[in-house]
Amino acid sequence: MKSKTADRIATGVFIAIAIIIISILVGLFSYILINGFKYISWDFLTTPSSNIRAGGGIRDQLFNSFYILLITMIIAIPLGIGGGIYMAEYAKPGKVTDIIRSCVEVLSSLPSIVIGMFGLLVFVNTTGWGYTILGGALALTVFNLPVIVRVSEDAILAVPRELKEASLALGITRWHTIKTVILPSAFPSILTGIILAAGRVFGEAAALLFTAGLSTPRLDYANWNPFSPQSPLNIFRPAETLAVHIWSVNTQGLIPDVEEVSNGSAAVLVISVLLFNLLARWIGSLITKKITATK
């Protein structure tokens, strides 16, 4: 009788905790979307921002956010998956492997402001680049790399061992087994983790304050020469992202419609992150179904 009562109490407590968490999240998202969605328009998304006049948009900041995300993923994905493969398949148990794993865990728990200060020291001052898209992408790579390494390692370790042993028993080399058997099986989990990590990068601000800067030069979207200072593809120009723009507008903004711009930018940022998460779930489930069907 006592065990049944304790079970009901525990169940009620966990349900209450779940309701509280869901209520906080729903309330937060609802507040941001309700206050900001009414300011989102095509002009708001496609016009440049203004530092002194009302009616500015977030065109350049939105482009910078996606562009820095793209550069970051191009650098981080090969390194992260390679690190995950090494930790799961090649690293031998011992002190060195334990130290590497501890370093990865420490990096994944570092505050983003610390990564930003490191990026300022290395990618801004030491290199002499100044505030650049490349510096911001490299700082976000340091920030994001441990997550991809752990996701890749866990996904590879979750692959049934029988698949690997059967492939090796047929005389297939170790690398070919990893490439053709293990990675395809682990790919849905790896891809889901990468997309979720991309959503995390998209909303990052602190690390980019010290590396990519708080300003964006006047961009010519008809100029796709990556070496031109006015080209949006130039990776050696400063770039204010959407998350940094929200912080800048709220702390240093002089525009009359600062509240409207801030609320609209926050709503666009939240919608983008939600889309990243939904896309991760949809792609992961779709690939899993295809792999299950082929088996």
H helices within the chain, ranges in order?
A: 2-36, 42-46, 59-85, 95-109, 112-119, 133-157, 161-169, 174-177, 183-202, 206-209, 242-252, 258-294
Please give the pLDDT value at position 210.
92
**Highest-confidence segment of 78-82, 167-171, 259-263:** 78-82
Please give the pLDDT value at position 6.
81
Does the predicted TM-score (pTM) go above 0.75? yes
Q: Of 233, 209, 225, 199, nearest to 63 (Cα)?
A: 233
User: Is the per-residue pLDDT at 138 higher than 90?
Assistant: yes
Residue 80 CB contacts under 8 Å (≥ 6 apart), including other chains: 144, 145, 147, 148, 149, 151, 152, 194
Please give the pLDDT value at position 292.
64
Please give the pLDDT value at position 282.
81
pLDDT tens-place string over residues 14-56: 999 999 999 998 998 899 888 888 888 899 999 988 877 878 8
> What share of the chain has pLDDT > 90, as a percent?
32
Per-residue pLDDT band for 293 (boundaries 50, 70, 90) equals: low
How many whole angstroms separate alpha carbon 208 and alpha carbon 247?
Answer: 11
Residue 147 CB contacts under 8 Å (≥ 6 apart), including other chains: 80, 108, 193, 197, 200
> What share of the chain has pLDDT > 70, as a percent?
97
Please give the pLDDT value at position 252.
75
Q: Of 107, 103, 170, nearest to 143 (Cα)?
A: 107
Place of tokens 């939105």: 62
pLDDT tens-place string over residues 89-114: 888 887 888 888 888 888 878 888 89
Per-residue pLDDT band for 237 (boundaries 50, 70, 90) equals: very high
Q: Which domains does the chain have, with CATH numbers?
A: 38-294 (1.10.3720.10)
Q: Which residue has the higher pLDDT, 281 or 149?
A: 149
φ and ψ of 166, to 5 deg: -65, -40
Angle between helical axes of 242-252 and 258-294 (0-180°, round to 10): 160
Please give the pLDDT value at position 105.
81
Any idea how long the chain is? 295
How many whole angstroms separate alpha carbon 69 and alpha carbon 180?
Answer: 29
Record the tokens describing residue 102, joined without a space: 């501890």
Instruction: Share the mean pLDDT of the chain.
Output: 87
